[in-house]
A and B are shown apart, each in its own frame.
Chain A
Amino acid sequence: MRRWAAAVARSWVAMEDFEAFLDGGGLVEADDDMPDPYRQAVFAFIEMHANSELMGGLTERDWIPKTPGLRHKMAVLAKTQDEIGHGHLLYMVAADLGVKTRTEMLEDLFGGRSRFHNVFHYRAVTWGDQVAIAFLVDAAALISQQAVFKDCSYGPYKRILRRIIAEEGFHMRLGEDRMMRIAEGTARQRRMFQESLDRWFWPALQLFGPDSKPDDPLLRWHIKSERNEVLRDRWVQKFVPMLQGYGFSVPAPDLRWDDETRRWDLGPIDWAPLQRTLAQGGPDSARRIGEAADNWQRTAWVRAALSKGGARSDSSTVADNSRVSANGGASASGGNGGG
């Protein structure tokens, strides 16, 4: 099947030629005969982003029915709908790479065989957590996505990111607005939100991942444009003064202002919690994945009936897929962002 772009598929003799094409600002399209390591890397990156959007929606959904206010609930519902909509688009872009179908990606996710961002291995236990996610995590995701968009070499992903970034900007502003109401609110509200910050500050920071390796292929292939530590620092320099400005404390005992660099320094970062989430061993991983898997199972009869009727509940691929095994060639340390 031909893609709508109908471009002539391009191919490269050697990896050096392909990398020179990328360095020159070239955009790779789904039909192109891209080197397999690049295909695997960009696929794993987009799959993780898609999974994270979906699991982010599941994290937020616990609190949607409890949203305090009718129109407030509509806004929160629209936000989560956006997140799941992003997942929907990203799964289609990922499926076009011909590594896995959408159904295979979802089944791997619900089987605990593929990854999603560390933050969604935690549970939102209060309404304050819901606001902290919209405020801190969406901002972290937005910073990451903006950096990917800036120099992204994979055309279909770059085009989808343009829309995602626009919507994530609204989500972050919604989070900021709700945070400000709490900051100006009652002592009880402020206490609730401080506890949420204590729970979510570090996971949100760790969403950027540890420092990028010197030879990170995602950077070399222009899938990412900036190093993890640079993005992480951008978030720290924005959020530390903002939280303090609203009278909240930053839960970092070694936090200090460095007069020389004119920057906030958080001190050493404990990466063990991130590593645990990567092994599906986060505080809420088992419940999150288990519930999603149970639900997938409970609704299998609908998908079965629709597929028999010729409908496509797995409208997953546009291109004709050649199936190859996915070994997840991309960085395992996060650094993408699904809010």
Chain B
Amino acid sequence: MSDRSGIREFLLAFADDEHLMGQQHTEWIGVAPFLEEDLAFSSIGQDELGHAALLYELVLELDGIEPTDAAVDQLAFRRSSRDYRSCHLVEYTTGGWAEALVRHWIYDTFEELRWEQVSDSAMPRLASITRRARREEAFHRRHADALLDKLLAAPEARSRITDALQTIAHLVPGLCEATAGEASAIAAGVTAGPTAKLFEPLARAIEERFSPSVGVGTDETGRFVTSATAGLTTTDQDQRTRRSDWFEPLMARMREVLDYDPAAVW
């Protein structure tokens, strides 16, 4: 794999995660537990989609393609499944609002770490996008934290939130999985370090956030794990090249209008 391909894979994974996370948030407008949450989820969804569009533009520039909205959409919606680099956590169809909230918290906690890794990127536009994104991500995380502070203090809600965490915890390591050729992105200074290194601080944050429902320990290699992520150091994502079963129905929904008339401009 060439250096350029490694960088491209890295950016594409970032963009695809943002895109599908934003997409998942759009599903909650109008059906959140109260009106303020409808508004919050749609606002966060817009931020994530906006980040995705900016990151797709970087990929297009790397490909030597003018980053028009049409080109962004082509990249965002028109690849074959095997060319996406999303992790399974953002492809996952949640079973309810508790899972959506826990995923939102986990994803945005991870995002803070991920954006930090590229804050001094040698790619100037990525560094500039990061400045804006970090301001927004801090708000996202505060939003999720404020809700969890209250919900984890109420027994029934705590039990629902903990169940949700246990349901989706197996998808957490995949969030921290690198794409092939990430070493090229690190060598070129696009990112400061391996994505896999973010697993440990993320697991620590999960333990801290959901304690005492979630225990803490070390696995057979001495690596720090929480009970929610123990034994989950491997994924079936194959460097993010393998899609989950949730992906095709999600993409079919996203492409429904585009597929209605491929020649159309909407």
Complexed CA–CA distance, A300 and B34 (Å): 9
Is the CB of B157 closer than 8 A to any CB of chain A? yes
A71:B53 contact, CB within 8 angstroms? yes
Complexed CA–CA distance, A70 and B263 (Å): 17
| Minimal beta-carbon separation of A230 from chain B (angstroms) | 33
Residue of B nearest to A130 (CB): B257
With a cutoff of 8 Å between Cβ atoms, the chain A residues found around residue B35 in the complex are: 54, 84, 87-88, 91
With a cutoff of 8 Å between Cβ atoms, the chain A residues found around residue B1 in the complex are: none
With a cutoff of 8 Å between Cβ atoms, the chain B residues found around residue A66 in the complex are: 253-254, 256-257
Is the CB of B228 closer than 8 A to any CB of chain A? no
A65:B27 contact, CB within 8 angstroms? yes
Which residues of B in the span 234-263 have a Cβ within 8 Å of any Cβ on A? Answer: 253-254, 256-258, 260-261, 263
B52:A70 contact, CB within 8 angstroms? yes
Which residues of B in the span 1-49 have a Cβ within 8 Å of any Cβ on A? Answer: 19, 23, 26-27, 29-36, 38-39, 42-43, 45-46, 49
User: A65-B253, A81-B42, A185-B264 are contacts. A73–B49 as well, Cβ < 8 Å?
Assistant: yes
With a cutoff of 8 Å between Cβ atoms, the chain A residues found around residue B258 in the complex are: 68
Contact with B along A28-69 (1 / 0, CB 8 A): 000000000000000000000000001001100101111111
Is the CB of A257 closer than 8 A to any CB of chain B? no
Complexed CA–CA distance, A301 and B27 (Å): 20
Is the CB of A321 closer than 8 A to any CB of chain B? no
Complexed CA–CA distance, A196 and B263 (Å): 20
A186:B72 contact, CB within 8 angstroms? no
B265:A185 contact, CB within 8 angstroms? yes
Which residues of A in the span 293-339 have a Cβ within 8 Å of any Cβ on B? Answer: 295, 298-306, 308-309, 311, 313-314
Is the CB of A27 closer than 8 A to any CB of chain B? no
With a cutoff of 8 Å between Cβ atoms, the chain A residues found around residue B26 in the complex are: 64-65, 73, 77
With a cutoff of 8 Å between Cβ atoms, the chain B residues found around residue A185 in the complex are: 261, 264-266
A301:B157 contact, CB within 8 angstroms? yes
Is the CB of B64 closer than 8 A to any CB of chain A? no
Complexed CA–CA distance, A73 and B33 (Å): 23
B69:A302 contact, CB within 8 angstroms? no
Residue of A nearest to B47 (CB): A74
Interface size class of B (residues with CB under 8 A): 35 or more
Complexed CA–CA distance, A74 and B51 (Å): 11
Complexed CA–CA distance, A300 and B42 (Å): 20
B266:A84 contact, CB within 8 angstroms? no
With a cutoff of 8 Å between Cβ atoms, the chain B residues found around residue A182 in the complex are: 266
B260:A127 contact, CB within 8 angstroms? yes
With a cutoff of 8 Å between Cβ atoms, the chain A residues found around residue B208 in the complex are: none
User: A188-B261, A306-B150 are contacts. A61–B31 as well, Cβ < 8 Å?
Assistant: yes
Complexed CA–CA distance, A54 and B151 (Å): 25
B253:A305 contact, CB within 8 angstroms? no
B264:A78 contact, CB within 8 angstroms? no
Kindly identify which residue among B38, B96, B256, B261 contacts A84, using a CB–CB cutoff of 8 Å: B38
With a cutoff of 8 Å between Cβ atoms, the chain B residues found around residue A68 in the complex are: 73, 257-258, 264, 266
Kindly identify which residue among A85, A188, A314 contacts B39, using a CB–CB cutoff of 8 Å: A85
| Minimal beta-carbon separation of B85 from chain A (angstroms) | 16
| Interface of B toward A, CB cutoff 8 Å | 19, 23, 26-27, 29-36, 38-39, 42-43, 45-46, 49-50, 52-53, 56, 69, 72-73, 76-77, 96-97, 150-151, 153-154, 156-157, 160, 253-254, 256-258, 260-261, 263-266
Q: Can you name 18 extra interface pairs (CB under 8 A) apart from A292-B31, A304-B154? A: A54-B30, A58-B30, A61-B31, A68-B258, A70-B19, A73-B23, A73-B49, A74-B50, A80-B29, A81-B42, A84-B35, A182-B266, A189-B261, A192-B260, A302-B151, A304-B156, A305-B157, A309-B153
| Interface of A toward B, CB cutoff 8 Å | 54, 57-58, 61, 63-74, 77-78, 80-81, 84-85, 87-88, 91, 127, 178, 181-182, 185-186, 188-189, 192, 292, 295, 298-306, 308-309, 311, 313-314
The 7 closest A-B pairs by CB, nearest first: A305-B154, A299-B33, A305-B157, A302-B33, A68-B257, A81-B42, A61-B30
